[in-house]
């Protein structure tokens, strides 16, 4: 399977998501948050540093739940990074 390369906007959004999650984690250990969210520590670290720029929805939802983040507010915060070319009139 060939993956479409990420746009710069997607990479920027991934980095912004990582910063938000890291800030929301605060003093909690990454290992504790990962365990509570049901993901690996390596996955959380990659998301936090933006190496996984487009994590799976359920991964983000689980992290938002564990970190007491409102998923809708999180999506609104990250919306400015959306690629305008991907928004087709419908």
* Distance separating alpha carbons of residues 80 and 90, to the nearest angstrom: 20
Please state, rounded to an integer, the average pLDDT across all residues of the chain: 90
90 confidence band (pLDDT: 50, 70, 90): very low
Instruction: State in words which class domain 8-78 has.
Output: mainly alpha
Question: For the residues 9-28, what does the mean pLDDT come to?
Answer: 96
Structure-block tokens of residue 71? 């998923």
* Separation between Cα atoms, residue 9 and residue 82, nearest integer Å: 6
> Which phi and psi angles does 67 have, rounded to 5°?
-95, 10
The closest of 15, 8, 67 to 59, measured between CA atoms, is: 67
pLDDT at 85 over 90: no
Rounded to two decimals, what is the model's pTM? 0.84
Q: What pLDDT score does 27 carry?
A: 97
């Amino acid at each position: 399977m060939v993956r479409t390369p990420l746009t710069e906007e997607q990479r920027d959004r991934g980095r912004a998501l990582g910063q938000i999650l890291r800030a929301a984690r605060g003093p909690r250990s990454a290992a504790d948050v990962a365990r509570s969210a049901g993901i690996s520590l390596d996955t959380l670290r990659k998301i936090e540093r933006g190496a996984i720029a487009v994590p799976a929805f359920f991964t983000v939802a689980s992290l938002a739940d564990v970190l007491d983040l409102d998923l809708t507010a999180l999506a609104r915060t990250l919306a400015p990074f959306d690629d305008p070319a991907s928004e087709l009139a419908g």
